[in-house]
Chains A and B, each alone.
Chain A
Amino acid sequence: MKMNTDRFSLTVDEYLAETNVLFYLNDAVTQLLEHKEEYTQFGVVRYFAEYFTSVKNGNHVLFREFSYIKATPHNRESFIHIFWKCFRQIGKNGDLLAMSEYSSLLQLLCPDFPTEMVQNTARIVLIDDATDCLSFSDFIYSFQIQFYYEEFVESVSVIYQDLLSGKNPNTVIVPTSTSVEQLSGAANEEPDVQEGVDSSIFCECIEGLCERFKHKFPSIVAIKEILESSQRVSFYSFLMTLAKHEGVNQDISALPNKSDLLIDPEMDQELERLIAQVAISPTSNNSSSSAAGQKETSKKASPRKSLHQRKRIEMESDGSTEETDSSEN
């Protein structure tokens, strides 16, 4: 939550608006009023200290409603980070999950997380192949773009559709032989990779958008870099490249680079310890699964797994739930 402008030259209202302080104070008071007795016993000052510490550390979004998670850039960043922390073991295991399964995972952390967001993410990733399942890293970087820059993605989509339908006269050069297909493609909002729009015009339009845009958007430098690398570009290939762009990922700073995405030595040690325990007493692993979340995860993954793999998954999801718990405190 760093401030870009000189904070001492802002008016009080501007300073407060820029930092979302009033939003958090408002939420803290609302929570306090909802649980008056509990928190009054705990100590009101201590309650506020805990609340703001959790906002600072980013674990305040855990199990909160979607409208809260979405409300500020910091909340979005924190949610992406928590999702990664909780479920990266899935990626490590190399499992490909269906979109409905990713949706379930998201809903473990945020019960009313809309499936629409996951469907939009799927559109970004599934452009190349028709399979339903996705690797964890493909999913999470695309999800990040869709979720963190939601308003930006929507506005760019409108621009793209306008360009495709020829509202800007110099944009679409339609080869006659494929014109019918192209029209239908545009109507379905799923244009083919080969088609798309002229990159430089697309880029100009996006730049124009960013100048007056109130929400977060990726850095202009990154957008230019992506759009200057090819003459024509389709909407989803643009989003896909954005999702894979390391600079954009660093700006959001919720996730590590792709090479470090699945590295988690602490959890590996814990897993090895658990596996060693299981090897000694084979019954112990049944007793350790209790939380609803891990049951769901293992249940979903289980039909495709051999018995040995199933055991491993149960233990892994056990581990990640533990981590969730600890970050909540």
Chain B
Amino acid sequence: MAEKRRAGVAMSGSCELDGAFACESGVSALLGSSLFTLLESRPRDPVGFLAEHFAHLSAQDDDAGPEHQAVSRALWNLSLAHHSQRSAFNSNTRTAFDLLTRDRGAGVVGVRGRLYTEMLRCLCSEGGLSGSTAAPLLRRVQCHDHESVPFELFRQGVLTCAVFSDYIRASQCLYGSVASASDRPAERALGQAVLETLREALETADGDDVGRYLEASAKISPGEVAKAMAEAHPGNQRENPVMDAQEFEDAAAALFIARVRMVT
């Protein structure tokens, strides 16, 4: 309330002068567009968002390495909403796409393949994936440097990387619960039983999306996983009785990657 009063004093004292200043210096337009951008993406931490937003804008004025800047600004836009907030995520993806295509001449549609691949690599590493885990996926979704990536392909690539990062995190949690203690590796038989359940869940029959989601979540429900683990026979693999976290992660990643269509 005090701030309103203070602002009120500033406004009423030299209202016209300040208004003119705000127009001339472009402050009104700047704030209007910034507020609009903020409301478009509704970040969790709006103050941090505005800090970065203005920093990006002022860096643009300096004009250093425009291409690198575009990629980092695109990545920043993509990080604002989780992909489960699908419409916000799609809108941010569009913004990122526009940022990366802005400097291309008329008549050319799409992002340069090189930028697209670089951005996906950054997206994976920001999602906490190691280079070796991300590499097989990137081989499937990346483009040649000289190719042009249209929006729909761009959106799919981005979404695939985002979902893959979540999937790997989830599979790491799954391994954590299969290994009874954090300092001991999981038994191979149990790990394989869980991976098998995971594979079955991913292999849903053709049908509408809702039906497939339900089928998959029924197959990977805690009850099903517990049943599979109870039925596993630990005595079968004498020579290599344990499975470490990396091996489990790789196997889980392979199940996912096998379902990603190769970009041609």
Residues on B with C-beta less than 8 A from A2 are 44-45
Residues on B with C-beta less than 8 A from A43 are 58, 61
2-51 of chain A: CB within 8 A of chain B: 2-3, 7-8, 12, 15-16, 19, 21, 23-27, 29-30, 32-34, 36, 40, 43-46, 48-49
Does residue B55 face the partner (Cβ distance < 8 Å to A)?
A: yes
C-alpha spacing A37/B162, complex, angstroms: 46
Residues on B with C-beta less than 8 A from A19 are 46-47
Among the listed A25, A32, A34, which residue makes an inter-chain contact with B35, where contact means beta carbons less than 8 Å apart? A25
Does residue B230 face the partner (Cβ distance < 8 Å to A)?
A: no
Check A21 against B50 for contact (C-beta < 8 Å): yes
Does residue A55 face the partner (Cβ distance < 8 Å to B)?
A: yes
Q: Do A7 and B44 contact each other (CB < 8 Å), given the known contacts A40-B25, A49-B57?
A: yes
Q: Do A36 and B54 contact each other (CB < 8 Å), given the known contacts A7-B44, A8-B85, A71-B3?
A: no
Check B10 against A52 for contact (C-beta < 8 Å): no
* 7 contacts across the A-B interface (CB closer than 8 A): A7-B42, A12-B39, A21-B50, A24-B50, A45-B30, A68-B2, A71-B3
Chain A interface residues (CB < 8 Å from chain B): 1-3, 7-8, 12, 15-16, 19, 21, 23-27, 29-30, 32-34, 36, 40, 43-46, 48-49, 52-53, 55-56, 67-68, 71, 74
Residues on B with C-beta less than 8 A from A16 are 39
| Majority SS at the chain A contact face | helix
Q: Quick one: CB contact mask for B27-56 with A, threshold 8 Å, 1 for yes?
A: 100110011001100101111101100110
C-alpha spacing A48/B39, complex, angstroms: 18
Residues on B with C-beta less than 8 A from A55 are 47, 51
Report the minimal beta-carbon distance from B31 to chain A, rounded to whole angstroms: 6
C-alpha spacing A59/B6, complex, angstroms: 21
Specify the chain B residue showing the minimal Cβ separation from A23.
B3
Among the listed A21, A56, A71, which residue makes an inter-chain contact with B38, where contact means beta carbons less than 8 Å apart? A21
Among the listed A34, A67, A74, which residue makes an inter-chain contact with B3, where contact means beta carbons less than 8 Å apart? A67
Does residue B7 face the partner (Cβ distance < 8 Å to A)?
A: yes
Specify the chain A residue showing the minimal Cβ separation from B44.
A3
With A44-B26, A45-B61, A56-B47 already in contact, 7 other A-B pairs whose C-beta atoms are closer than 8 Å: A2-B45, A21-B50, A29-B7, A30-B3, A33-B21, A52-B51, A68-B3
Specify the chain A residue showing the minimal Cβ separation from B48.
A56
Report the minimal beta-carbon distance from B29 to chain A, rounded to whole angstroms: 11
Q: Quick one: CB contact mask for B152-174 with A, threshold 8 Å, 1 for yes?
A: 00000000000000000000000
C-alpha spacing A2/B46, complex, angstroms: 9
Report the minimal beta-carbon distance from B1 to chain A, rounded to whole angstroms: 8
What 6 A-B pairs come out closest when comparing CB atoms? A67-B2, A49-B54, A52-B51, A48-B54, A45-B58, A49-B55
C-alpha spacing A19/B41, complex, angstroms: 14
Specify the chain A residue showing the minimal Cβ separation from B50.
A52
Residues on A with C-beta less than 8 A from B243 are none
C-alpha spacing A289/B58, complex, angstroms: 38
C-alpha spacing A21/B34, complex, angstroms: 11
Check A49 against B51 for contact (C-beta < 8 Å): yes
Check B57 against A26 for contact (C-beta < 8 Å): no
Check A8 against B3 for contact (C-beta < 8 Å): no
Does residue B224 face the partner (Cβ distance < 8 Å to A)?
A: no
Which interface residue of A21, A23, A68 has the most chain B CB atoms within 10 A?
A21
Check A53 against B30 for contact (C-beta < 8 Å): no
Residues on B with C-beta less than 8 A from A30 are 3, 6-7, 10
Which interface residue of A2, A24, A56 has the most chain B CB atoms within 10 A?
A56
Residues on B with C-beta less than 8 A from A21 are 35, 38, 46-47, 50
Check B25 against A44 for contact (C-beta < 8 Å): yes
Check B42 against A15 for contact (C-beta < 8 Å): yes
Check A27 against B51 for contact (C-beta < 8 Å): no
Report the minimal beta-carbon distance from B116 to chain A, rounded to whole angstroms: 28
Check A29 against B44 for contact (C-beta < 8 Å): no
Report the minimal beta-carbon distance from B91 to chain A, rounded to whole angstroms: 11
Residues on B with C-beta less than 8 A from A49 are 51, 54-55, 57-58
Check A36 against B50 for contact (C-beta < 8 Å): no
Check A25 against B51 for contact (C-beta < 8 Å): no
75-105 of chain B: CB within 8 A of chain A: 85, 88
Specify the chain A residue showing the minimal Cβ separation from B55.
A49
Specify the chain A residue showing the minimal Cβ separation from B31.
A25
Does residue B147 face the partner (Cβ distance < 8 Å to A)?
A: no
Specify the chain B residue showing the minimal Cβ separation from A60.
B47
Check A56 against B51 for contact (C-beta < 8 Å): yes
Check B42 against A44 for contact (C-beta < 8 Å): no
